[in-house]
Structure 1
Amino acid sequence: MTSYVQPLDHGPIRELRLARPPVNALDPGLCRALIGALDAAQAEGADAVVVSGLPGIFSAGLDVPHLLALGEDRAALRSAWGAFFGAARALAGLRIPVVAAITGHAPAGGCVLALCCDYRVMARCADPDKPFSIGMNETRVGLAVPDGAQQLMRRVVGRHRAERLLVAGHMVPADEALHIGLVDELAAADDVIPRALAWLQPLLQLPRAPMLQTRALARADLVRALDPEHLHLDRFIDAWYAPDTQAGLHALLARLGKA
């Protein structure tokens, strides 16, 4: 495990803090570190997990500059996307409860990771005119959203609303995200992690085996959504090299360079 993921124990609950400044961009190193940290939490007997981010940002999603730097190396590109979806599958398939402490913005891959958790607590920005937002904004940079990722959104907000959000690449402000069920709770920035821990407490007081068995059955569709057959990575990578996709990605890269 690298320092990209910092484990912090709160009694029987392990917090895994994503720590790849400045925005927790999901490169293969961070994704594999998260998988290793989740495996370690289970192996070391944690009763539950909280995944948190940096102040103001949960994760900005995939590391686009890293992906573009791979150029025509399709194998490396496939490996990078495979590492990301491997991290999502590790969250979805975790045998113990996991809460997303969404400490700020959560676009694209950050939203996907949050949707793989049992419960989502999102920070309210101190400036109400600049709310934190969450969503899958892939279409705005020229990417299609794979079916498996779309299923995660449909699962929590319903098919029709998911279609509207996904096709438009809409980033949902925190208050609206709470209203439509995309997140479960809002809290002041300093209270996001305490609220995530608090949500887990009554769950962990239940008879353990029945709770975990019921949870596994209830989340089976979530795990299936992230099976490789629903992601079509080869088709996705073909589309990555399409002219309009490359134009959108390079435009994003230019904007990031000016930020």
Structure 2
Amino acid sequence: MLTITQHDAVIDIQFARPPVNALNINLLRALQTALTDAVHTGARGIVLSGAQGMFSAGVDVPALLACDRAGVREFWREFFVTCATLARLPVPVAAAITGHSPAGGAVLSLFCDYRVMAQGPYRIGLNEVQVGLIAPDCIQMALRRVVGAYRAERLLVSGALIDAEQALAFGFVDELTTVEQVTTRALHWLNETLALPAHAMSGTRQIARADLIAAYADVDALPIDTFVDAFYHPQTQATLQALVARLKSKAK
């Protein structure tokens, strides 16, 4: 589900769940373990990357719809634990957004320190509204701190998926490059960051990310049950079922 590559002091954790790197509970748990292990084995920086053309298509909706309520809650708790793991990592993380990154994929990138996105026909965004979901405040705040309150509101309420050029203009991503160079540029940013005086960089980074760290200090204090209740709203279920039907039709 993941491919791990070491580049000196930096570890590249690459999603490897074909065809679209959809997030299921096993992938989330594998990612949590890989992030924690990278730090424990001495990594000074981490790249989170995907396949060319697809960073992550977000939540594996068909798998989630097949779960009972307890399974749905377990999945969303693990998703928030993954966000918390990224938020609290003591080393910088660069997201190498190697292609499309809707919904859950975009969310995970927001918990990284820096985002490099592929140029071209790729889209990114928190399109939860379009698939019938309500983005909770703990997710909304991650977008607000990157693009600002007004822009975040517009993107969230519309559920917009924006192209790479718009993402750069809005501050959603920090840099664009060719799809072949996304991971290389993410590594370059990390190496430049790690060349700074370590004590000053790490201390300043911790202060700058204090709001994110505080918001995810206790995952079980997050409104997980409220989110699950909203997941089972009839309109949400109908929208998600229609999405799955479209996906199955495209796959034929």
TM-score band, normalised by shorter chain: over 0.9
Per the alignment, do residues 90 and 234 of structure 1 end up closer, same or farther by CA in structure 2, a change over 3 Å counting? same
Cα distance in structure 1, aligned partners of 2:246 and 2:48: 28
Cα distance in structure 2, aligned partners of 1:150 and 1:231: 13
Q: CA deviation at 1:211?
A: 1.2
Q: 2:205 aligns with which of 192, 212, 215?
A: 215
Which position in structure 1 is the counterpart of 2:102? 107
Cα distance in structure 2, aligned partners of 1:224 and 1:24: 29
Q: CA deviation at 1:231?
A: 3.7
Q: 1:56 aligns with which of 53, 57, 62?
A: 53
- Asked whether the equivalents of residues 77 and 219 of structure 2 are also in contact (C-alpha less than 8 Å), the reply is no
Q: 1:197 aligns with which of 175, 187, 200?
A: 187
Q: CA deviation at 1:229?
A: 6.7
Q: 1:118 aligns with which of 102, 108, 113?
A: 113
- Asked whether the equivalents of residues 146 and 231 of structure 1 are also in contact (C-alpha less than 8 Å), the reply is no
* Residue deviations 1:8-65 (CA, integer Å, cap 9, x gap): 0111110000111111111010000000000110000011000000111111111101
Q: Secondary structure at the match of 1:149?
A: helix
Alpha-carbon RMSD: 1.1
1:86 aligns to 2:76 (yes or no): no
- Asked whether the equivalents of residues 49 and 96 of structure 1 are also in contact (C-alpha less than 8 Å), the reply is yes
Cα distance in structure 1, aligned partners of 2:178 and 2:197: 32
Cα distance in structure 2, aligned partners of 1:53 and 1:119: 15
Q: How many residues align?
A: 249
Q: 2:16 aligns with which of 19, 31, 38?
A: 19
> Aligned AA for 1:13?
V
Cα distance in structure 2, aligned partners of 1:17 and 1:5: 5
Cα distance in structure 2, aligned partners of 1:6 and 1:164: 35
Q: 2:93 aligns with which of 94, 98, 101?
A: 98
* Residue deviations 1:50-88 (CA, integer Å, cap 9, x gap): 000011111111110111001xx2221111111111111
> Aligned AA for 1:222?
L
Q: CA deviation at 1:100?
A: 0.0
Cα distance in structure 1, aligned partners of 2:9 and 2:37: 13
Per the alignment, do residues 170 and 117 of structure 1 end up closer, same or farther by CA in structure 2, a change over 3 Å counting? same
> Aligned AA for 2:249?
K
Cα distance in structure 2, aligned partners of 1:239 and 1:112: 18
Q: Which runs of 4+ in 1 moved over 6 A?
A: none
* Residue deviations 1:195-227 (CA, integer Å, cap 9, x gap): 001111221111212211111111111223335
Q: CA deviation at 1:147?
A: 0.6
1:28-47 pair list within 5 angstroms = 28-47=25-44
- Of 10-19 and 221-230, the range deviating more from structure 2: 221-230
Cα distance in structure 2, aligned partners of 1:241 and 1:14: 38
> Aligned AA for 1:201?
N
Q: Secondary structure at the match of 1:85?
A: helix
* Residue deviations 1:152-203 (CA, integer Å, cap 9, x gap): 1111111111111001000011000000100000000110011001111221
Which position in structure 1 is the counterpart of 2:249? 258
1:139 aligns to 2:139 (yes or no): no
Please report the TM-score for the alignment, with normalisation by the length of structure 1.
0.94
Q: Secondary structure at the match of 1:101?
A: strand
1:246 aligns to 2:251 (yes or no): no
- Asked whether the equivalents of residues 28 and 79 of structure 2 are also in contact (C-alpha less than 8 Å), the reply is yes
Cα distance in structure 1, aligned partners of 2:228 and 2:21: 23
- Asked whether the equivalents of residues 147 and 230 of structure 1 are also in contact (C-alpha less than 8 Å), the reply is no
- Asked whether the equivalents of residues 13 and 46 of structure 2 are also in contact (C-alpha less than 8 Å), the reply is yes
Q: 1:175 aligns with which of 165, 181, 189?
A: 165
Please report the TM-score for the alignment, with normalisation by the length of structure 2.
0.96
